[in-house]
């Protein structure tokens, strides 16, 4: 059995779609970081290789830091990167609405579909599950966490998107040989 502690990185304060852009996290709320640190187990920690996730992981002062993992990156928004929904909708209303309302195979131009993100993240998480950690902390992104919520709850992508995942929140999932169980989702310690 492995308990996954999925932590969303600190806020970037961007008001656009931020996927693979390497924006820094605002980690100035030291009280929130301290509460998060106190809530998490003493366990190995891995993060996306993007600065906002890796800096958040480092701020948690892990005793056992695993290498950054690019497979844990956020959704690749391609040509929509750093643009607002309204900006993209003005040019590609059908594509962006389909992407968010019926996520699956539709991808932003030069980006990746929800199914591609899910496959990438599932493969990475499966590798960590094979390492047989009792607890593993994963510091990543909104999309990454939702892929695993979708997986654990056996729901469709649209239902997964209905879950809120705040910055510096914790989503706890447990994997055992008989399947997945979801604990608190979007817990704010």
Active-site positions read 9, 74
Question: Sheet harboring 135-140: ordered strands across?
Answer: 45-47, 135-140, 2-8, 170-176, 179-182
Spacing of C-alpha 42 from chain mean position: 20
- Measured on CA atoms in the order 136, 164, 90, 93, is the torsion positive or negative? positive
From CA 156, how far away is CA 140, in angstroms rounded? 21
Residues with Cβ < 8 Å from 57, sequence gap 6 or more?
7, 45, 46, 47, 65, 137, 139
Is-contact 164 178, C-beta < 8 A?
A: no
Tracing tokens 């399947």 back to the chain, one arrives at 179
Q: How far apart are CA 30 and CA 35, in angstroms?
A: 9
Q: At what angle do helices 142-153 and 114-130 cross, to 10 degrees?
A: 80
């Amino acid at each position: 059995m492995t308990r996954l502690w999925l932590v969303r990185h600190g806020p970037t304060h961007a008001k656009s779609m931020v996927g693979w852009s390497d924006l820094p996290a605002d980690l100035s709320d030291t009280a929130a970081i301290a509460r998060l640190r106190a809530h998490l187990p003493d366990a190995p920690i891995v993060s996306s290789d993007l600065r906002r996730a890796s800096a958040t992981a480092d701020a948690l002062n892990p005793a056992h830091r695993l290498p950054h993992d690019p497979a844990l990156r956020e959704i690749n928004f391609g040509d929509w990167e750093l643009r607002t929904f309204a900006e993209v909708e003005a040019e590609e209303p059908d594509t962006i609405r389909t992407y968010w309302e019926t996520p699956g195979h539709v991808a932003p131009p030069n980006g990746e579909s929800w199914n591609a993100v899910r496959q990438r993240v599932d493969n990475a998480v499966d590798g960590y599950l094979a390492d047989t950690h009792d607890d593993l902390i994963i510091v990543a992104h909104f999309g990454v966490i939702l892929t695993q919520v979708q997986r654990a709850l056996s729901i469709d992508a649209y239902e997964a998107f209905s879950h809120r995942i705040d910055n510096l929140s914790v989503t706890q999932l447990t994997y055992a040989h008989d399947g997945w169980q979801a604990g608190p989702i979007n817990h704010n310690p």
